[in-house]
Structure formats: C-alpha cells, structure tokens
Amino acid sequence: MFLTYTDTNVVRFPRELRCFDLDALIAVEPDIMQADLLSERYGLDILPFDLIDVAETEARERIAELNATDPVVFQATLRRMSEQAFARAIELCLRAQKVDARARRLRRQADAAKPAEAGFLNVCAEDAERSAAIATLAALAASHRARGIDAAVSLKLQGCDRFFPFGLVTLPVGKRA
C-alpha cells in the first residue's frame, strides 16, 4: 500500500516545462543584477551588454535568408526559431537553479561542519559556487539570446521589416532624441 502525504490531488506542471515563450523564460531566468558580481567574484568573463541586440541582428540575417514563398511554412519556421531559443534558455535556467541549489546546500553543510571536516567541505562548497556562477552566466547569456531572437521573429511575424534600434549599440553616434 502506498501512502501519499499531499494536501490536494492537483499536480503542478510548471509553465516553463510545457510552454517555450517569454513568460516561461521570465519565470525561471536568473537575476541579471547578479551577473557582474558573479563575474568579478569568480574571475569569469563579464557578459556583453549588447547580447540581445547582437542576437536580434543575427536572427534578422537568418530570417532574410529563409525561403518565404510559402507563408504558412515561413511563419512556422519563424515560430520554431523562437521556440527553440526559448527552450534552450529555459533548459539552461533550470539547470542553473539546480546547480545553485546544490551549491547553497554544500555551503550550509560547510558552515555547519566541525573544524576537522570544514576544510574539505569548504573546498567542495567553493567549487560548487563557482560552478553555479558559470551556470548562471550561461543561462543569462542564453536568455538574452532568446529575447533577441524573439524580438526579430515577432517583428517579422507582424510584417515589420524595419529595424528599430532598441539597444545602445544600434543608436547612431551623434544623434540623440
């Protein structure tokens, strides 16, 4: 006989495991405000500030190369491009959460350990924290890439072929609003 201790018979299926869109990404995305701190603390490369713009530009170039003679196939291809980028970003964000949870668990164990065990556990915790930082930065990079791809795809699906300079990189030098 199996005993279960649940308050309800409803099982939650998180949106990020079934939908690959911006809302699902936002639900799992790491805090961008931590990126520079993690980079500095662990001696890792700082994320470029223009990741979204670069991804959008690259996506626009890829879209321009697609065959648009069949509108249904073309739109399906665009949606798949966006969905694949979101799926990859969400996958990396969920992985970063798991790695970060492991690092926090190891840090608690190291902090609570007896002095004889603390040295080894502290080394394990520091290694896990560095791995969590690397995973978090990778997740943030993939998230920004997905946002750029989605911006290009969304504008194309709406029939807009003009390039709108959202980021700092694409603003013309010397012209200010």
Q: Is the pLDDT of residue 159 over 90?
A: no
Q: Is the pLDDT of residue 177 over 50?
A: no
Q: Taking a C-beta distance cutoff of 8 angstroms, is the pair 96, 139 a contact?
A: yes
For position 166, what pLDDT does the model report?
55
Question: pLDDT tens digits for 116-128?
Answer: 888 889 999 999 9
Sign of the dihedral through C-alpha 50, 54, 60, 63: negative
Question: pLDDT tens digits for 76-101?
Answer: 999 999 999 999 999 999 999 999 99
53-65 average pLDDT score: 93
Question: pLDDT tens digits for 160-172?
Answer: 876 665 554 444 4
Rounded to the nearest angstrom, the gap between the alpha carbon of residue 80 and the centroid of all alpha carbons in its chain is: 17
Distance CA 38, CA 131 (A): 11
Quickly state the pLDDT bin for 66 (edges 50, 70, 90).
very high
CA distances from 84 to 22, 71, 147 (A): 12, 20, 12
For position 114, what pLDDT does the model report?
87
Instruction: Please report how many Cα atoms fall inside a 13 Å half-sphere around the Cα of residue 53, on the Cβ side.
Output: 12
